Structure 1
Amino acid sequence: MARTVSNAFFGWTWSAVLAGVFASLVVQILLTMLGFGIGLLAIDIPTAVSTPAGAGWAGFVWWAVSGIIAAFIGGAVAAANSPDQTGLGRVGHALAAWAVATVVVVAAAALLPASATSVASNLVGPTYTASARVVALSNAPARETVGASARAPTQAQIDEARKHFAYAMFASFCALLLGAGAAYAAGMATTGRAVAETARPLT
């Protein structure tokens, strides 16, 4: 009796994953530009030393929500283009698109000489500004200016900046998990019937 070999892995294609990645990145970039337009992400690194730590949480909420939306759309595109329209195939492509998009965003922000007001750095989220604030307080103690005189930051200010950075990292971790959940939901929701209905030509 011949042994049946499962062909689940033979239904994999990187073209579907890349389609989801590009769709996710485009949505994320557009929403980040919109965030700049309405002033939620307008925090410069040179002024990050004197900026209150709580000022970045509005930007974080915008980044988290836009990331979840982008992950869902990217996951739906990847799942719709998956040659394997089983649940496992759709979800696998959707999660792969989310993972690749996350790595691309982090790598772009790490490699590019970006400022805190650039689109690339803000795609990473508020952790970029939070880390820049820690570096500015630790390495440039005379940058904080009060009136006409420069004053070195206190150890309490440096500790507060580090604590804020830790909170931002943990919150970003949770937001990325929610993005993975959105990609998973998109993979489950994009059924073969839905794909067929979308691909059917209009008459």
Structure 2
Amino acid sequence: MAGREIYQKIHDNIQKVMKGQAVAIRKLLAAFASGGHVLLEDYPGTGKTTLAKALAFSVDASFKRIQFTPDLLPSDILGITIFDQNDRTFHWHEGPIFANIVLADEINRASPRTQSALLEAMAEAQVSVDGQLKKLQDLFFVLATQNPVESRGTYPLPEAQMDRFALQFSLGYIQPEDEVDLLSAQIEQHPIDTIASCVDLEAIAVLERV
């Protein structure tokens, strides 16, 4: 399968859910294919989380969503080593960062300490835990979201964190006719529930080499 065909299959699959967002989909897939990460900054209800899910469900890959909150700890993202009293040894438990596609929802609601847990992962596809380096998946893509209008209980992303994103953009509100189509499609069930994977990890590797 050629790279253009792979791209078009993912694009068409996402567009089933994201009506009137052709430009945003192209930007998202450009970053995805180039190995970069994306920061979506927009108002609630514009479809940021839905766009992330539509991409994740279009690829036969692992997907994890992390809801960032003020009490979130770095270990909640990276993982933790727990002592098992039965065999008296420590066992490593992976965090949600060990997935192919990670949605960091409302990333600016976590403290700078927690945000910093993503720095090494996004730059080098690895994390340092308990003095050991642990490699992430070959396909590792972070899609983060944040609300630009609410400042209470949020922490601005530092420059070092912003530098990890290949693209930052917003979705904006869609045209009235597209909004009607979007609402009509949700009468029986949400279209995101009907999305099925259309490409696998091998196809994504081909797309990245194009």
Q: Does the alignment reach a TM-score above 0.5?
A: no
- Comparing both structures, which one devotes a greater share of its residues to strand? 2
* Length-normalised TM-score, structure 1: 0.24
Q: TM-score, normalised by structure 2?
A: 0.24
